Amino acid sequence: MKFSLFKGVVAAGIITVGAFIGQASAGVIGLALIVDGSGSINSSSWSLQMQGYKNAINAAIPTDSTVAISGTQFSSSASVFQNMTIVDGGNRGTIADNFGTQGQMNSGTCVSCGIRAAYNDAMASGLQFDKLIFDISTDGDWNAGVDPDGDASTVGTAEWAVDGLVDVVNCLGIGNSADCSFIAGVGAFSVTADNFDAFESALIRKIRRETGQDVSAPGTLALLGLGLFGLAFYRRRMSA
C-alpha cells in the first residue's frame, strides 16, 4: 500500500513537471496589431493611441522570443509599418518606438483592408505560429472596403481570416461608437476603453491576456496540488 502511494506521488510529480516543460517549450504566438488611423481620431487622440501602443509593447510583450508582433494601420486603405517580427531583448524597444512614431493616414475606416494587409504580412513572414491572433483597435464602424463581419467567402472579413490561418480576431473598442461585432474564432473577445486616455491600460491588459500572461495554468496547479497532497499523505502513513 505504501509503495502504491509512493508511485502515485512520483507519477503526479512527473506529470506536473511535464506540464511545466510543455509550457516552456510552447511555439511562437503571432500578434498582429491592427491600428485604426481613420479621420474620426483627432491628432491628440492619435498621439495617445500610438504612445499607448509603444508603452504596451514595452510593458507587456515578453523578450524571450515566444511572441512575434506586427503593426498595420488602416484608414481608407491599409499599410503594414512593422513586419511580423519575433521580439527579443535586442529589438523590443526599437519595435515599440516604430509604433510611437507612426503618422496618421487620416481618412476612412476600412477594417477589412487592415485584416487583409496583416494577413498577407503574416503569411509572408515564414514564421511557424503556435497561435496567430489579430488584435484590432477602432473607435467607430467600417465605412470603406467590405463589412468585416461578413462571411468567410469574402476576402478581408474576420471570418475569412479565421477560415485561413488566423486563430482569433479580437477587438479593442474605444468609446461608445466603436463596433467590435466582427470578432471571430474560438475564444475571440473584445474589450472597451472609455476613451483614448484609458486606451493604454486596456491594451496592456488585453495583450497580457492574449499572450497567456494573465491566465493561470489550472491543470498544472491542480496536478502540483495533487502531488503535494499525495506526498503529505504518504508521509503520514510512514510515520503511523
Q: How far apart are CA 201 and CA 167, in angstroms?
A: 24
- Span 170-177, mean pLDDT? 97
The CATH number given to whatever domain includes residue 51 is 3.40.50.410
pLDDT surpassing 70 at residue 36 = yes
91 phi and psi angles, rounded to 5 deg:
-125, -5
pLDDT surpassing 90 at residue 182 = yes
C-alpha cell at 108: 476612412
**3-class secondary structure, 205:** helix
Least reliable range by pLDDT among 30-44, 107-121, 206-220: 206-220
* Residue 12 is assigned to a structural domain of this protein: no
Q: How far apart are CA 209 and CA 60, in angstroms?
A: 10
Q: Decide which of 226 and 117 is more confident.
A: 117
Query: What residues contact 54, with CB distance under 8 A and at least 6 apart?
Result: 96, 97, 99, 100
Q: What's the pLDDT band for 119 if we cut at 50, 70, 90?
A: very high
C-alpha cell at 216: 493561470
pLDDT surpassing 60 at residue 33 = yes
* Residue 17 is assigned to a structural domain of this protein: no
Q: What's the pLDDT band for 27 if we cut at 50, 70, 90?
A: confident
Query: What residues contact 162, with CB distance under 8 A and at least 6 apart?
Result: 152, 168, 169, 184, 185
Per-residue pLDDT tens for 55-76? 999 999 999 999 999 999 999 9
Q: What is the CA radius of gyration of the chain?
A: 22
pLDDT surpassing 70 at residue 163 = yes
Q: What is the identity of the amino acid at 240? A: A
Query: What is the predicted pLDDT for the residue at 215?
Result: 54
- State the residue range of the domain holding 195: 28-210
* Residue 33 is assigned to a structural domain of this protein: yes
* Residue 227 is assigned to a structural domain of this protein: no
* Residue 75 is assigned to a structural domain of this protein: yes
Q: What's the pLDDT band for 2 if we cut at 50, 70, 90?
A: very low
Number of folded domains that form the chain: 1
Q: What percent of the chain has pLDDT over 70?
A: 78
Q: How far apart are CA 203 and CA 145, in angstroms?
A: 26
pLDDT surpassing 80 at residue 4 = no
* Residue 3 is assigned to a structural domain of this protein: no
* Residue 129 is assigned to a structural domain of this protein: yes
Q: How far apart are CA 78 and CA 177, in angstroms?
A: 21
- Span 157-172, mean pLDDT? 98
* Residue 216 is assigned to a structural domain of this protein: no
pLDDT surpassing 50 at residue 218 = no
Average pLDDT of every residue of the chain: 86
174 within 8 A of 139, measured Cβ to Cβ: yes
